[in-house]
């Protein structure tokens, strides 16, 4: 149960009339406006091709919007300089459907890579060269996802569920203020999916991290999100507290 | 009953001209290469004569030839290793979308193309002039040849690697060099090793003839054997080269299979 906010809420993400198109094609995102409060978990739902992933890429500064503005932790990724963008990304974590671990490296090295945004260089390229403090921090992150005993296993020898847990540990390693989760469990079997989602949201709520996540699973959006944003054809069709919604309210977005 | 389509498509006028030009080009090339049926017919008796004078291969100089073969392998291994190591930073600059912009990518790829375009025997001649006769000139020639070969293929390997892990690290604010070191290079490592093993095979083949221009290795023994009409020794050298090159190739195939098997 989350506590109510007594003072004016801090806004972590502010999106104002955002639009995105590729070339002369139809807009992928159009006239999108919303705000996300600090510590809030927002579920982004909608059918395939409605612009969810494009919106996430805009929030990370990996894609530039065509019009409108956005501010993530007070910085507009579209106008940020390289240093500012790196500073923003150092406070941001990404957990994606593909897990995106480096296959031939150890689990521990993959987790240590989570702090590359805060400190780069050869001492964090591999656990072999990392300081004891960094190794212990990475082991603590692995401990939180229950995989400390697999620290020296190669990442490509993990199951799908284990792999996603390592990706979560890597994302949490830097102590991010904002996390993006793009279909985090889409590639997992149903039992692993529930375990990983429970673990992920328990950890992010413990740490007070702001989360924007996408999911095709309507029940996940309602269970784990504080708020649900529904996209259809690149436009915001729904913005409501999860507690006020039922599955029938979201099904219309997929018609 | 429906008509069957024609087995051969009737060529267009343009295609006909292209075929005719290709045939003319081939005829011109054979002419330039001194094609002579008469000489070809005279060759088997000459070859049989060489064979009768060369067989059996000489075993008299086996220890000396053995050491020369060891030196050949040393030239190949040292040159290929140095070339492959130097190729990594050069390939990072040559690969599109990693660190450098398009102008640098194109410039570096052009230089690598030049290194590959000049044959290794020509590099050996250049280095004999630069550092003098001996295996060091051969090693430098192999190094430059390997740099041109590995630099290009390492760059292609890094461009083809799965972008997901690199994007995940970029999203955490990692710098470009960190992303290349932590995601791109480990992702391309199996291809790097496979390419390097092929470079070693290529270097062993090349290093066996560098001795012809005084750049060390067993090639000089081949030249001396033919110059002194000591065909049994020349045959021994040819057989030693064949055995070593085939052995190294087989070792390379085995190692590559192990590595690619390891990848999955």
Q: Do B168 and A118 lie within an 8 Å CB cutoff?
A: no
Query: In terms of CA atoms, which chain B residue is nearest residue A120?
Result: B178
Omega before B56 cis (within 30°)? yes
Query: In terms of CA atoms, which chain A residue is nearest residue B185?
Result: A102
Percent of chain B with pLDDT over 70: 97
**Mean pLDDT across the stretch B151-156?**
94
The pLDDT value given to residue A138: 93
Among the listed ranges A191-205, B50-64, B187-201, which one has the minimum average pLDDT value? A191-205
Residue B4 lies in a domain: no
Q: What is the CATH number of the domain that holds B117?
A: 1.10.3720.10
Residue B47 lies in a domain: no
Residue B208 · residue B217 · CB < 8 Å:
yes
Is B164 near chain A, with CB under 8 Å? yes
The pLDDT value given to residue A5: 47
Residue A1 has pLDDT above 50, yes or no: no
- Contacts of residue B105, defined as CB under 8 A and 6 or more positions apart, other chains included, come to B93, B94, B95, B96
* Sheet containing A92-96, strands listed edge to edge, beginning at the edge strand earlier in sequence: A92-96, A178-182, A210-214, A41-45, A227-232, A235-241
> Distance (Å, rounded) from C-alpha B122 to C-alpha A95?
53
CA dist list (Å): B38 to A244, B35, B123? 96, 9, 36
Beta-carbon pairs below 8 A across chains A and B: 85
> Distance (Å, rounded) from C-alpha B186 to C-alpha A104?
7
The pLDDT value given to residue B180: 94
Percent of chain A with pLDDT over 90: 18
Residue B96 has pLDDT above 80, yes or no: yes
The DSSP symbol for B215 reads S
Residue B174 lies in a domain: yes
The pLDDT value given to residue A4: 47
Query: In terms of CA atoms, which chain B residue is nearest residue A167?
Result: B168
The pLDDT value given to residue A7: 63
Residue B88 lies in a domain: yes
> Distance (Å, rounded) from C-alpha A50 to C-alpha A236?
10
Residue of B173, B180, B261 for testing the chain A interface, max A β-carbons within 10 Å: B173
Residue B112 has pLDDT above 90, yes or no: yes
Nearest by CB: B169 against A91, A113, A180: A113
> Distance (Å, rounded) from C-alpha A41 to C-alpha A33?
17
Q: Do B175 and A62 lie within an 8 Å CB cutoff?
A: no
Q: Do B167 and A86 lie within an 8 Å CB cutoff?
A: no
More confident position, A9 or B171: B171
The pLDDT value given to residue A202: 83
Nearest by CB: A174 against B167, B172, B189: B172
> Distance (Å, rounded) from C-alpha A167 to C-alpha A175?
14
Average pLDDT, chain B: 89
The number of beta carbons lying within 10 Å of the beta carbon of residue B8 is: 5
Q: Do A93 and B187 lie within an 8 Å CB cutoff?
A: no
- pLDDT confidence bin for B260, thresholds 50/70/90: low
Average pLDDT, chain A: 85
Residue B184 lies in a domain: yes
Alpha-carbon gap: A188 to the closest alpha carbon of chain B (Å): 18
In the structure encoding, which two tokens stand for residue B86, read together? Answer: 């130097």
Phi, psi of A65 (to 5 degrees): -70, 155
Is B167 near chain A, with CB under 8 Å? yes
Alpha-carbon gap: B262 to the closest alpha carbon of chain A (Å): 9
Q: Do B182 and A100 lie within an 8 Å CB cutoff?
A: no
Give the residue numbers spanning the domain of B117: 64-263
- Biggest alpha carbon distance in chain B? 79
Residue A50 · residue A30 · CB < 8 Å:
no
Show residues of chain B in contact with A113, CB under 8 Å.
169, 172, 174, 182-183
Show residues of chain B in contact with A114, CB under 8 Å.
172
Residue A187 · residue A9 · CB < 8 Å:
no
- Whole-prediction pTM value? 0.78
Residue B241 · residue B211 · CB < 8 Å:
no
Show residues of chain B in contact with A91, CB under 8 Å.
173
> Distance (Å, rounded) from C-alpha A51 to C-alpha A57?
10
Q: Do B167 and A101 lie within an 8 Å CB cutoff?
A: no
**Mean pLDDT across the stretch B70-86?**
94
Is B186 near chain A, with CB under 8 Å? yes
B144 CB burial (10 A radius; 0-12, 13-18, 19+): buried
The pLDDT value given to residue A182: 86
Alpha-carbon gap: B166 to the closest alpha carbon of chain A (Å): 8
**Mean pLDDT across the stretch B79-91?**
95
B36-61 residue pLDDT tens: 888 888 888 888 888 888 888 888 88
Alpha helices in chain B (DSSP H): 13-32, 37-54, 62-94, 102-117, 120-131, 135-160, 164-170, 176-179, 185-207, 219-227, 231-263
Residue B225 has pLDDT above 70, yes or no: yes
Angle between helices B62-94 and B185-207 (to 10 degrees): 140
> By C-alpha distance, which of B213, B208, B215 is closest to B242?
B208
The domain total for chain B is 1
The number of beta carbons lying within 10 Å of the beta carbon of residue A61 is: 24
More confident position, B72 or A8: B72
Show residues of chain B in contact with A92, CB under 8 Å.
171-173
Q: Do B171 and A114 lie within an 8 Å CB cutoff?
A: no
């Amino acid at each position: 149960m989350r506590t109510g906010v007594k003072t004016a809420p801090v806004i972590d993400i502010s999106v104002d009339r955002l639009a995105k198109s590729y070339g002369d094609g139809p807009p992928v995102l159009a006239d999108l406006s919303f705000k996300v409060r600090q510590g809030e978990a927002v579920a982004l739902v909608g059918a395939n091709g409605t612009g969810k992933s494009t919106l996430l890429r805009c929030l990370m500064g990996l894609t530039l919007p065509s019009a409108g503005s956005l501010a993530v932790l007070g910085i507009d990724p579209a106008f940020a300089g390289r240093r500012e963008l790196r500073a923003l990304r150092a406070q941001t974590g990404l957990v994606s459907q593909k897990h995106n671990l480096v296959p031939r490296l150890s689990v521990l090295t993959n987790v240590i890579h989570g702090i590359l945004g805060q400190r780069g260089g050869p001492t964090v390229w591999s656990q072999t060269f990392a300081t004891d403090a960094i190794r212990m921090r990475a082991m603590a992150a692995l401990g939180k996802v229950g995989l400390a005993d697999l620290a020296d296993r190669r990442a490509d020898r993990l199951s799908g569920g284990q792999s996603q847990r390592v990706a979560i540990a890597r994302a949490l390693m830097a102590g991010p203020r904002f996390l993006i989760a793009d279909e985090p469990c889409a590639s997992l079997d149903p039992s692993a999916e529930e375990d990983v989602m429970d673990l992920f949201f328990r950890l992010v709520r413990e740490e007070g991290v702001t989360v924007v996540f996408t999911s095709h699973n309507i029940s996940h959006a309602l269970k784990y999100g504080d708020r649900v944003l529904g996209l259809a054809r690149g436009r915001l069709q729904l913005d409501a507290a999860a507690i006020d919604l039922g599955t029938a309210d979201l099904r219309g977005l997929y018609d | 009953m429906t008509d069957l389509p024609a087995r051969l498509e009737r060529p267009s006028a343009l295609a006909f001209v292209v075929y005719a030009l290709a045939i003319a080009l081939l005829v011109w090339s054979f002419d330039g290469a001194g094609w002579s049926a008469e000489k070809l017919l005279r060759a088997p008796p000459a070859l049989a004569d060489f064979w009768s004078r060369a067989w059996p291969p000489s075993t008299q100089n086996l220890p000396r030839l053995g050491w020369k073969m060891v030196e050949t392998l040393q030239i190949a291994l040292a040159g290929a290793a140095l070339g492959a190591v130097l190729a990594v930073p050069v390939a990072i600059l040559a690969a599109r979308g990693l660190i450098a912009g398009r102008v640098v990518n194109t410039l570096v790829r052009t230089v690598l193309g030049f290194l590959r375009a000049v044959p290794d025997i020509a590099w050996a001649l250049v280095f004999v002039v630069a550092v003098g006769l001996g295996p060091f000139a051969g090693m430098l020639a192999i190094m430059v040849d390997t740099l041109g070969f590995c630099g290009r293929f390492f760059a292609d390997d890094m461009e083809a690697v799965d972008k997901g892990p690199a994007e995940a690290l970029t999203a955490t604010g990692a710098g470009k060099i960190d992303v290349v070191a932590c995601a791109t290079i480990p992702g391309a490592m199996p291809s790097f090793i496979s390419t390097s093993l092929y470079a070693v095979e290529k270097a062993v083949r090349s290093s066996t003839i560098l001795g012809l221009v005084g750049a060390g290795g067993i090639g000089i023994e081949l030249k001396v054997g033919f110059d002194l009409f000591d065909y049994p020794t020349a045959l021994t050298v040819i057989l030693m080269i064949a055995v070593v090159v085939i052995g190294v190739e087989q070792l390379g195939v085995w190692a590559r299979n192990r590595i690619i098997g390891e990848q999955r």
